[in-house]
Amino acid sequence: MPCEQTQDQLHGYLDGELDPISAANFEKHLDTCPDCKQTLAAEQALHQSIQKANLYERAPESLRKKLLGEPQRQSAAVRSFPAPRVFGWKWLAAAAALLLAVVVSWQQLQKLRGISESQLIAASLVDAHLRSLQPGHLTDVESTDQHTVKPWFDGRIDFAPPVRDFASDGFPLVGGRLDAAGGKTVAALVYARRKHIINVFVEKASENYWNGTGESQGYHWLAWQQNGFSFCAVSDVAPADLEQLRKLISEN
Amino acid sequence: MLEGEDRARFEAIVLPHLDAAYNLARWLLRNRTDAEDVAQDAVVRAFRAFGAYRSGNARAWLLQIVRNTCFTWLRQNRMAAEFIEFDETTMPQESKNPETLALAGSDREQLTRALELLPESFREILVLRELEGCSYKEIAEITSRPIGTVMSALARARAQLRNSLSQPAPKEARRAV
């Protein structure tokens, strides 16, 4: 394979955007081409220095206030996360009633349309992810220490989710919480990726297990089974980042 | 301030992406004060257009409005002298010299300057991919380009960033804010 043809592919490979066959072909090519190997290493180094440099800039509070109309209370723990306006209770009640009606009719509609149950579960986990980004909702136990987060789940759910910190790999543990999805209580492990939040929902694997990957409302999800657990990672990071976290969890 | 009955839905679906909107504006405009104004303008536009939004990727939808608002703003506000359309055919070739390939030591300031020196189309695609973590599909949607061209555009943008990093700092670098 001449290198000119693979130069662009190198970027697709780096970004985890090649289909499995092209990726395998590119890896084969790498073995025989020191030039591409060197370029790939350099691109990886550039990518890492950009990530380390922390160039992402969040919206200032002044902008949020202008758009949301009123100042908001925020706990220190969630200050760095997006904080949509907290509604009054009347709004909440109305919104909850509306949401329930929408969810019920939507679920009926999806069933009629033959949308698979896994997509419904994924959609409910994306909703859970969105809820977690509301002020004060991200973590019940906030700690980067897996030995603090793991025991916290004892007695709260009837299984012990595997909890590991992957800070050295760029996925620091932020904490954990209990969440509800698809009518079940699930464990949610919260990881940070650069300035983004990843929720990893864990439950006991059941018979109608599911896996795969997809996108809903601008959020990506990746689901898999392992050691009797069902995992589903949800975030606005790229699918390649979710795949990297899946590998870390699977290998530990 | 946003008003109206769609507001709750807008706040739930679109506003979680406010950071993404601001970040893109900040890098496209290279100025935080302008970015705040233009991001606000873009969100208000998005709200007005929200009736047309059905479903799909809300982040990509918002970012598309943000980048269009940014480019309109730039066209209206930029001094003519500063307006240089980038011609990709004249782009310097990427150096294969290992010294310029090794960038592990690049710090935040150097990267900020190098990124700000890039032509907008390159800066945009790098911010979307490297900072915002967008997939190629999302980048194609936001920048209204065919998905097949995203990979090669990223390749050129990264080559240009590397090139910009390997050049010595100008005495009076144009700094954001």
Name the one residue in this structure whose structure tokens are 């509070």.
Answer: A61
Dump pLDDT digits (tens) for A90-100: 666 777 777 77
Q: How far apart are CA B88 and CA B152, in angstroms?
A: 12
Model confidence over A206-242: pLDDT tens digits? 765 567 888 888 889 998 888 888 899 999 998 899 9
The amino acid occupying position B175 is R
Predicted local confidence at residue B169, as pLDDT = 57
B123-128 mean pLDDT: 97
- pLDDT for residue A155: 81
In angstroms, the CA B94 to CA B102 distance is 13
Residue of A199, A189, A241, A249 lying closest to A224 (CA atoms):
A249
Residue B163 has pLDDT above 70, yes or no: yes
DSSP class of residue B118 equals: S
Burial of A245 (0-12, 13-18, 19+ CB in 10 A): buried
Contact B57 A218 (CB under 8 A): yes
Place A2 in a pLDDT band, splitting at 50, 70 and 90.
Answer: low
| Weakest mean pLDDT among A52-66, A203-217, B143-157 | A203-217
Mean pLDDT of chain A: 81
Are A30 and A37 a contacting pair, CB within 8 Å? yes
What are the angstrom distances between the C-alpha of A16 and each of A20, A101, A199? 10, 39, 20
Q: How many CB atoms lie within 10 A of CB A180?
A: 12
B7-62, pLDDT tens digit by residue?
888 888 899 999 999 999 999 999 999 999 999 999 999 988 888 787 788 999 99
B171 CB burial (10 A radius; 0-12, 13-18, 19+): exposed
Mode of pairing for the β-strands spanning A229-235 and A219-226: antiparallel
Of B8, B13, B103, the CB nearest to A49: B103
A17 and B15 within 8 Å at the Cβ level: the answer is no
- Strand ranges of the sheet holding A141-142, from the earlier edge strand across to the other edge: A141-142, A173-181, A184-193, A196-204, A229-235, A219-226, A212-216
Q: If we measure between CA atoms, which residue out of B133, B126, B124, B1 comes closest to residue B69?
A: B124
A39 within 8 A of B97, measured Cβ to Cβ: no
Give how far A202 is from chain B: nearest CA, Å. 24
Contact A74, A48 (CB under 8 A): no
Residue A34 CB partners (closer than 8 Å, separation 6+): none
- Report pLDDT digits (tens) over B80-116: 435 444 444 444 444 444 444 444 444 788 899 999 9
Which CA distances in Å does A179 have to A101, A130, A153, B83? 21, 12, 12, 51
Of B8, B61, B161, the CB nearest to A91: B8
Q: What value does the CA radius of gyration of chain B take, rounded to a whole number of Å?
A: 17
Q: Which pLDDT score, from 0 to 100, does residue A188 have? A: 94
CA distance B110 to chain A (A): 9
For residues A157 and B13, give the distance between their C-alpha atoms in angstroms, rounded to a whole number: 31
The residue type at A54? N
Residue labelled with tokens 């990843």: A198
Is the model more confident about A62 or about B106?
Answer: A62
B12: which chain A residues are within 8 Å (Cβ-Cβ)? 84, 130
Which residues on B lie below 8 Å from A95 (Cβ)? 8
The ipTM assigned to this model is 0.80
pLDDT of residue B93: 43
Whole-structure pTM over 0.80, yes or no? no
Lowest-confidence pick of A128-132, A143-147, A187-191, A208-212: A208-212
C-alpha of A97 from chain center: 28
Tokens of B98: 């290992």
How would you write chain A as a 3-class SS string? CCHHHHHHHHHHHHCCCCCHHHHHHHHHHHHHCHHHHHHHHHHHHHHHHHHHHCCCCCCCHHHHHHHHCCCCCCCHHHCCCCCCCCCCHHHHHHHHHHHHHHHHHHHHHHHHHCCCHHHHHHHHHHHHHHHHCCCCCCCCEECCCHHHHHHHCECCECCCCCCCCEHHHCECEEEEEEEEECCEEEEEEEEEECCEEEEEEEEECCCCCCCEEEEECCEEEEEEEECCEEEEEEECCCHHHHHHHHHHHHHC
Contacts of B27 in chain A (CB under 8 A): 55, 57
Tokens of A112: 């009629």
- Which residues of chain B make contact with A84, given a CB cutoff of 8 A? 11-12, 15-16
Mean pLDDT of B67-92: 65
Q: How close B16 comes to chain A (CA, Å)? A: 6
